[in-house]
A and B are shown apart, each in its own frame.
Chain A
Amino acid sequence: MSNPFEQILQTFIQEAKEQLHAMESSLLLLESEPNDSETIDALFRSAHTIKGSAGLFGLTAMVSFTHILEDVLDRLRNNEVSVDTKLIALLLECGDHLQELLRVTVINNGEMDDRLQQREVDLRERLQNYQNRQQPLDVVNTPREDRVAVTGNDLVVSNLWHISLRFGSDVFRHGMEPLSFLRYLATLGKIVNITTLIDAMPDITTMDAESCYLGFEIDFDSDIEKHVIEDVFAFVREDCIIKILPPRSKISEYIELIRNLPEDESRLGEILVASGALTAQELQHGLAQQQAGTPPSGTLLGEILVEQNVVEPALVQAALDKQSLIKEKKIKENLYIRVQAEKLDHLINLVGELVIASAGARLLTQQSQDAAAFEAASQVTDLVEEIRDGALRLRMVPVGETFGRFQRVVRDVSQELGKDIELRINGGETEVDKTVAEKISDPLMHLLRNSMDHGIESTERRIAMGKSAKGSLTLNAYHDSGSIVIEVADDGAGLNQERILQKAVDRGLVVAGATPSDQEIYNLIFEPGFSTADAVTSLSGRGVGMDVVKRNISELRGTIELTSQAHQGTRVRIRLPLTLAIIDGFLVGVGQASYVVPLDLVQECIELAENERTHAHARNHLNLRGEVLPLIFLRSHFRLEESRSRRENVVVVRCAGQKVGLVVDELQGELQAVIKPLGKLFSGLRGISGSTILGSGDVALILDVPALMLRTVTNENSNNRKAGVYRLPLTSEHPGKIRQG
């Protein structure tokens, strides 16, 4: 990433991927709404952008293929070709091919292999059926009139390069001779038009004869590539303005050119029209766009042309309306800034440190009893809190972006399986940390494939069962107390409990004759190597998967659970933390140690009254306003040696619909905890999800409440049943050791 070109190339690769992605979504959208012109426009724009930027990097393989694609899309846009499933399938394949081209020729910097080449030939052939046969493939040779009709008004008719040169004032002093560059240029093609500009030359008294004030507008006819033209001016590149527009550039690019050059806009416009680079109408069109974007100042050439009756006002108005629309869209697109993920991570790291530091400062001022200092520190803390929220929000992306790519997967897989399956997406706007969004993609893909392969029945069977022929998959996302919940649901056959139990017994996971609960049976399928499928297909059923899914989710500090109803379907619910970096915590003390409970989970705090204590210790639960509240005694859970303290409190936490009371000694208040992952040594630790550093410099452990709850619930179950033999690995070690380190 050190060299700037490489950086730009990375940006291109990123953008191209995004555009290809956008293309794919547009195509899928088009499948359901074949006549949506906006989607077709978006499709065309994506292809056009890819072609344009690939051209900048001289990626000929991509350019030439995208070019054909663009041609077909263009005809689609002009209603010369109609949308059908065949065309969409073809275009999807073209998208895949481009993706592969990008990967092979750009990212790996290699050559197309035979297979890729064969596919390209095949695709080109099929695309040709949709191309206009009367038109030669090569645009450059297309007669002007035809081309105008096809492109609408976006591209100029001129098939010449347009080169704008403004030599820097020191060019002579550096021993350069502008005319000799032009002479050399003339050897590479034909200079059709050239206009010399001396607008930069000051009046005769101040003009310095040894400074260069020359500028040229050149229309150039040649087949060479852009970089060859750029190379002509390589020696003067640094102190000159050099703008090169390829043949048939967009009018908007000309307008931009006009605006970016030092001379007066209308003067340049006239020059371009006079030299034939733009027609008067194209210029008019372009300036109308400009007018729509900026408040009119002075007399623009467009107005002059109207006054002179060169163009009818109505025409200008129409152009203006259309262009202002485009402009609006552009503005929307420009609302985003591309930032390197690394920089963002660094920022968030710093904010994390800032949170710790400000907590420390606040603590000190509090101890100093200086009210003014405390006031100031509190204010800083508030601001830091806002900065933290803002910084974390920067990392948040709508989970729908991840979901979107599954449309294609579902479409392809259902075709492969010969099933008719529809994917519904709800809550795509739910935001989640980008890392989480990325890492959740694979597990979700797995779950979807599983559902499609095993869950949803074949069409015949569905009809026989009296279900709708079309199978339905639902991806649902929503926020729930500090977590994001993602559900994958299907309306298929559901899990066969008997078969799962049978397999588990066969594999020795469950003792024969045991009667585990439904939930426990479902949890079995997350065990390694567990598969209930009768048939192993290419997609799933080999028994690798669900355990990997579970592990991936656990790595994200998330939980997964599954519910199923025979012949109704299966629902997998994944619960993930919104962010991996900082949490709002509630600090509690047990003995000498401090623990952090995620604040979102805390429902209420109650004092464990003296008269209830013995009772509670004996029964492990509490009567909370008529409800049974299971208790977890952190002291005994973590096997803290210190004797019981004088008072105890209960923190009522709620997670995944269950309530549990955590019995602690002290309630120490809220804090912002910057999560520091525990080292490898502690990776086997259950009930602890991380650590944080307090303002005082002490380490506090962050409680993994869901894991704690799971443990209690399991304990209860096994206590109640006595027969269950489960291989649920739950260990608890003394976490206080960290403090000695």
Chain B
Amino acid sequence: MKIQDYKTADGVRLILDGELTIYEAASVKAELMDYLNANLTQEIEMDLSQVAAFDSAGLQLLLLAKRESMRLGVALRLVRHSRCVLDAFELVNIGSYFGDPLLLSESDQNHAKQQGAFQ
């Protein structure tokens, strides 16, 4: 998993690229904590279009980030969910917790099914 960050007006935009699963969970958590704790961050946008695999550990990390952001008063938005993320969100009915519109990112539409984490 690679996380690219781009500075925006109020905060940061992250592109999560690769597998968001138990194997990367520890390192991803550490990185996310850094972003959340960065002083000036008002808003974090996470682009999930490049997430190729997603499991419970990944889900748990996103939930953690959301909870922490709410505690800190930072706006956390998830955008361009990839197919596997959407599948998981749908399965556990968690979309409303994040409160983001769930739209399938175009680039992911074709490949996601073969790359799902649960096969």
Contact = CB atoms under 8 A, between A and B. Distances in A.
Contacts of A198: 60, 63-64, 67
A214 B67 contact: no
A280 B41 CA distance: 42
B94 interface: yes
A196 B33 contact: no
Contacts of A214: 56, 59-60
B93 interface: yes
Contacts of B61: 209
Chain B interface size band reads 20 to 34
A205 B92 CA distance: 25
A213 B60 CA distance: 8
Given A209-B26, A209-B28, A210-B22, A172 B56 contact: yes
B57 A201 contact: no
B43 to A, nearest CB: 18
A179 B59 contact: yes
How big is chain A's contact interface, by range? 20 to 34
The A interface is mostly helix, strand or loop, or mixed, namely: loop
B118 interface: yes
Q: Could you tell me the dominant secondary structure of chain B's interface residues?
A: helix
Given A177-B56, A196-B93, A213-B60, A204 B68 contact: yes
A167 B57 CA distance: 12
Interface in B48-89: 55-57, 59-61, 63-64, 67-68, 88
Most B CB contacts (10 A, CB to CB) among A194, A196, A201, A212 go to A196
Most buried by A among B28, B55, B57, B67: B57
A183 interface: yes
A207 B88 contact: no
A331 to B, nearest CB: 40
A724 B64 CA distance: 101
A211 to B, nearest CB: 9
A207 B22 CA distance: 14
Given A195-B93, A214-B56, A180 B63 contact: no
A208 B59 CA distance: 14
Nearest to A201: B64
B91 interface: yes
Contacts of B6: none
Contact of B60 (A182, A186, A212): A212
Interface in B4-40: 22, 25-26, 28-29, 33, 36
B93 A177 contact: no
Contacts of B56: 167, 172, 177-179, 212, 214
Interface in A170-219: 172, 177-180, 182-183, 186, 191, 193-196, 198, 201, 203-205, 207-210, 212-214, 216
21 contacts: A172-B25, A179-B88, A179-B118, A182-B92, A183-B118, A186-B91, A191-B91, A194-B93, A196-B63, A196-B92, A196-B94, A196-B97, A198-B67, A204-B33, A204-B36, A209-B28, A209-B29, A209-B57, A212-B57, A214-B60, A216-B92
The 5 closest A-B pairs by CB, nearest first: A209-B25, A209-B29, A178-B56, A194-B93, A196-B92
Given A172-B57, A208-B26, A209-B26, 17 more contacts: A172-B25, A172-B56, A177-B55, A179-B55, A179-B59, A179-B118, A182-B92, A194-B93, A196-B63, A196-B92, A196-B93, A198-B60, A204-B36, A204-B64, A210-B22, A210-B25, A214-B59
Interface of B: 22, 25-26, 28-29, 33, 36, 55-57, 59-61, 63-64, 67-68, 88, 91-94, 97, 118
